[in-house]
Amino acid sequence: MEIPAINLKAIVFVHWLLTTWGCMYPWLPLSYAWGNFTIFVIAVWAIAQRDSIDAVLMFLIGMSITILTDIIHFGIYYPSGGVVSSMFRFCAGMAILSLILKPASCFFVYQVYRERGGEYVSFGLPSVTPNRDSYQSIDQQNSGPAIPPYSQAGESKAGPQAY
């Protein structure tokens, strides 16, 4: 089963629209708008330069960081009680919907990163590489001299024996 290709322009447009609607009511600080719209500038760079791996990686990292900052903004600035207007509910709902969609968008942006030639990001963790050039096939015969897996009875070498 292959993962469907999502256009980078569609991802950027959806998040731009939801973030714009989320900022229509002044319940979030300016840092929310600055953080998200700065990432959209990087996304425009990634769209404009189709061969740039760095632009897509920066967009992916920025989207990942805005997930954390959005959670912090919503936790701090969401009103705890009282009567709220329908405009506030709409704006908060759009900002929360943008936050909910960001992990899936990060996944699709990572697929774009891989399509453009980016490598798997392991962050220092051990990972399995898809490059199989360093593997030797067991079907091929080795052209070098055969080394016996054990010592012959006539040889008297000291040391551990391989099993």
Query: Domain boundaries in the chain?
Result: 8-115
pLDDT value for 82: 82
Q: Is the dihedral of CA 99, 103, 108, 110 positive or negative?
A: positive
The answer to which of 34-43, 80-89, 91-100, 144-153 has the lowest mean pLDDT is 144-153
What is the band of 149 on the pLDDT scale with cuts at 50, 70, 90? low
Residue, of 108 and 161, whose pLDDT is higher? 108
Q: What DSSP state is assigned to residue 34?
A: H
Residue 125, token pair as written in the block = 């963790």
Q: Where are the beta strands (DSSP E) in 82-139?
A: none
This model's pTM is above 0.75: no
Would the pLDDT of 24 be above 90? Answer: yes
Q: What DSSP state is assigned to residue 30?
A: H
Q: Is 58 helix (H, G, I), strand (E, B) or coil?
A: helix
pLDDT value for 6: 80
Mean pLDDT to the nearest integer, 98-122: 89
pLDDT in tens, 51-95: 889 999 999 999 999 999 999 999 999 998 888 899 999 999 999
pLDDT value for 157: 57
Would the pLDDT of 25 be above 60? Answer: yes
